[in-house]
C-alpha cells in the first residue's frame, strides 16, 4: 500500500484488483457541415473525445457504468498506461475486478469532458479555421454540452442502456444531467459530494481564481499559446480552489501550525508554515499539467449549471427522470458541496417516487472525501448496483 497525490489530495492505492494496462482511445465526430449544436446556439466541430474503457460490453449492450470525472481529472480513471507508471488512474480504487465498479460484471466508460486539456477538444485545441489554438474563440460550454458530447461517444460504442452514471463533485452534476437529458437509457445515477447547482460561495471562490488568471500579465486575453502561460495566476487559482477541497479539522490534523524553523518566522517574510508550502506545491505542480483557459471554462460551466433551469422547482425538473434508482452520498465536513445540497436532491427524487438510497458519511476530509473514503463508498455502491 502506498500514497500518491492526484489533483485534490493523497489517495491510498491498492494494487490488488487492478484492471492492468489500459489505453486512452479517441473518437472524433461533428465534422463540417454536421457541426455539434451547443446549448447556447453556437456550433463546434470537429470534436475529439478522449476516453477509456474497462471490462467488456455485454451482448445486450446494457451493462454499462459511465464514470464522470471532476474539474481537473481525465479519462484515465483506472489502471496504468505503462508498467513503469508510478500511479494508476484517478479512481483506480473504485474500478476493477471485485471493486465498487466491478469490471468482471460491468463495462466501465470514462471520457474526458468537452473543454478540458486531456485529449478532448478544448481551448488549447487547434481551430481548423485558423490553424491556431482556439483560446477565447472557443465557445462557452455547459454541463449539458459535456453530456451531449458523451452521448455521441456512447452511441459510437454501441451502448443501448446505461446501468448507472456515476460521479463525484462536478461529475455528479454530469450524472444528474444524463438522467435529465437522456432519461430513456439511464437506469440509475450515483451522485457523490455534488449538488443540483453551484452555491454562491463556490461561485465567489471561482471568481477569485478566474480573476487571478486573467490578471496575470502572461494571460494575454487567453492567447498565450506558443509563449509563456499565465503560470502565476493559474497557481494562485489552484491554491484558492484547493483550500475548498479540504476541511478545518483535516488541516489541523495534517498541518496544524507546524513550521520547519519557527525562529525564521520573525526574521523572513518568505518563511512558510507547512500548510503554505503544501499550497505552493499544489499550485506549482498544477500549472505543469493543466491549461489555464480550460480551468476558466470548466469553472464557469460549473457556476452556471442549474438542474432546475426552466422549471418551477428541482422536483418539477426531476419529473423528466425515468431512473429506477438513485444513490446519493454526502460528507459531513464538505463545505464545497455541503450536505444540505444532497438533501435537496434526495427530496426532489422522493417527490418523483424514484427509489433513493442516501448516505451521509461522517468524514474529516472535506470535499476530498469522495476520493479518500473509497472503502465506505465501495460498500454502498456495490450494494446499490447489486440491488437491481
Catalytic residues: 169, 334, 367
| Cα(148)–Cα(125) distance, integer angstroms | 19
Spell out the residues 6+ positions from residue 279 whose beta carbon is closer than 8 angstroms to its own. Answer: 239, 242, 243
| Cα(307)–Cα(196) distance, integer angstroms | 5
Beta bridge partners of 108: 54, 65
| Cα(17)–Cα(327) distance, integer angstroms | 24
| Cα(183)–Cα(317) distance, integer angstroms | 12
| Cα(260)–Cα(271) distance, integer angstroms | 9
| Cα(212)–Cα(206) distance, integer angstroms | 10
Of 370, 278, 279, the C-alpha closest to 330 is 370
| Cα(369)–Cα(215) distance, integer angstroms | 32
- Identify whether 46 is preceded by a cis peptide bond (ω within 30 of 0): yes
Amino acid at each position: 500500500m502506498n500514497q500518491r497525490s492526484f489533483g485534490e489530495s493523497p489517495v491510498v492505492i491498492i494494487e490488488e484488483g487492478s484492471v492492468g494496462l489500459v489505453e486512452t482511445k479517441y473518437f472524433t465526430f461533428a465534422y463540417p457541415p454536421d457541426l455539434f449544436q451547443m446549448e447556447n446556439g453556437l456550433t463546434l466541430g470537429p470534436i475529439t473525445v478522449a476516453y477509456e474503457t474497462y471490462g467488456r460490453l455485454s451482448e445486450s449492450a446494457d451493462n454499462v457504468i459511465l464514470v464522470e470525472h471532476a474539474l481537473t481529472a481525465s479519462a484515465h480513471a483506472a489502471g496504468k498506461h505503462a508498467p513503469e507508471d508510478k500511479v494508476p488512474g484517478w479512481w483506480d480504487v473504485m474500478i476493477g475486478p471485485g471493486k465498487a465498479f466491478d469490471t468482471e460484471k460491468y463495462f466501465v466508460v470514462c471520457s474526458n469532458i468537452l473543454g478540458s486539456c486531456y485529449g478532448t477538444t478544448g481551448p488549447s485545441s487547434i481551430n481548423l479555421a485558423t490553424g491556431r489554438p482556439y483560446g477565447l474563440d472557443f465557445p462557452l460550454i455547459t454541463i449539458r454540452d459535456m453530456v451531449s458530447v458523451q452521448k455521441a461517444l456512447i452511441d459510437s460504442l454501441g451502448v443501448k442502456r446505461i446501468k448507472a452514471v456515476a460521479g463525484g463533485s462536478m461529475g455528479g452534476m454530469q450524472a444528474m444531467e444524463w438522467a435529465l437529458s437522456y432519461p430513456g437509457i439511464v437506469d440509475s445515477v450515483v451522485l457523490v459530494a455534488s449538488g443540483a447547482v453551484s452555491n454562491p460561495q463556490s461561485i465567489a471562490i471561482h471568481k477569485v481564481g478566474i480573476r487571478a488568471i486573467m490578471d496575470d500579465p502572461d494571460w494575454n486575453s487567453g492567447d498565450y499559446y506558443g509563449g509563456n502561460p499565465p503560470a502565476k495566476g493559474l497557481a494562485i487559482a489552484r491554491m484558492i480552489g484547493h483550500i475548498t477541497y479540504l476541511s478545518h479539522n483535516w488541516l489541523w490534523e495534517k498541518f496544524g501550525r507546524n513550521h520547519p524553523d519557527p525562529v525564521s518566522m520573525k526574521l523572513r517574510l518568505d518563511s512558510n508554515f507547512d500548510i503554505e508550502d503544501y499550497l505552493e506545491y499544489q499550485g506549482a505542480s498544477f500549472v505543469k499539467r493543466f491549461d489555464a483557459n480550460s480551468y476558466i471554462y470548466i469553472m464557469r460551466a460549473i457556476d452556471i449549471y442549474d438542474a432546475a433551469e426552466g422549471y418551477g422547482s428541482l422536483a418539477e425538473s426531476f419529473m423528466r427522470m425515468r431512473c429506477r434508482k438513485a444513490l446519493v452520498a454526502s460528507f459531513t465536513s464538505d463545505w464545497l458541496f455541503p450536505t444540505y445540497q444532497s438533501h435537496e436532491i434526495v427530496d426532489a427524487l422522493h417527490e418523483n417516487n424514484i427509489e433513493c438510497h442516501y448516505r451521509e458519511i461522517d468524514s474529516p476530509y472535506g470535499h476530498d472525501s469522495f476520493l479518500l473514503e473509497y472503502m465506505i463508498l465501495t460498500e454502498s455502491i456495490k450494494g446499490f448496483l447489486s440491488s437491481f
